[in-house]
Amino acid sequence: MKKIQLGRSDLEVGEIALGCMRISELSRKDAAHVIDNALQLGVDLFDHADIYGKGKSEEVFAEAINMNDDVREKIKLQTKCGIRDGFFDFSKEHILESVEGSLRRLKTDYIDSYLLHRPDVLMEPEEVAEAFTTLKESGKVRYFGVSNQNPMQMELLKKYLKDDLIVNQLQLSVVHTPMIDAGFNVNMMNDPSVVRDGNALEYCRLNDMTIQAWSPFQHGMIEGPFIGNAAFPKVNAKLQELAEKHNVTDTAVATAWILRHPADIQPIVGTMNAQRLKDIATASHIELTRPEWYELYRAAGNKLP
């Protein structure tokens, strides 16, 4: 699998990462199979959050991989904090407590990349900076990032932080493209021209931040997959056509569509099916042509101006 660098860090990882939200639903044996399969494919960044499985996802992962020093050197661990029961919390106290909980559940001494999970509008950036400094100086966290934040939210944080933010997780799939739509429809009076995220895509590229695409096979936030969904006939027909042309699966083509973007966007895929992950990983070895990329974009219902 091709490698990418996360932001301005020294973390070199596979260009596709595995999201571990659902690993809590697996037995230790099945989870071990998923992780081992991922590593064989070159997928070595594992994305967690303290709320996944209410902490159980991190526990199951550590048990399944038989975490020890030798294993730890072969993987990159990313986890997130900030979502609590009915509210968001970026207080210094919660960040520090959350890190300790994740370290304990993951059975590790350090986290490679630690993200703030969705914006907390009551955030006091000075507190976040104090927490991050404490974690960095103690060696418990190597690098920091955010998820679902717009440029001004990131700028507010950066005013106080000592270190770069290396990652921003944003929802992106061929049927969920607001960060791309606005770039086509500049100075136009139509809905796609509305800048919904403050030009997060361009901001991250200008600041050498890696965008991690979550839900790359979903439509909406929780509605389900669009691949193989009869409600999306045109995009599925085009996915099938390109899959046959490149001798891969439709899921691989949907992944390749994201990888084709020059921003080096890293898809976070959440499958716990070993064969499906193998299919997805083949996307790393194909590159859609410019016409193919645009064909898929238009087949998803997007109109070029």
Question: Could you give the residue numbers annotated as active site?
Answer: 52
C-beta of residue 163 within 8 angstroms of C-beta of residue 134: no
**How far apart (Å, rounded) are the C-alpha atoms in residues 88 and 153?**
15
Look up residue 167 and give its two tokens.
């990652």
C-beta of residue 50 within 8 angstroms of C-beta of residue 147: no
C-beta of residue 67 within 8 angstroms of C-beta of residue 44: no
Residue 254 burial (CB < 10 Å; 0-12/13-18/19+)?
buried
What DSSP element (H or E) covers 17? strand 17-19
SS3 (DSSP) at 260: coil
Report the sign of the C-alpha dihedral through residues 98, 94, 198, 111, in that order.
negative
SS3 (DSSP) at 19: strand
**How far apart (Å, rounded) are the C-alpha atoms in residues 278 and 27?**
20
Burial track 5-33 (b if 16+ CB lie within 10 A, e otherwise): ebbebebebbbbbbbbbebbebeeeebbe
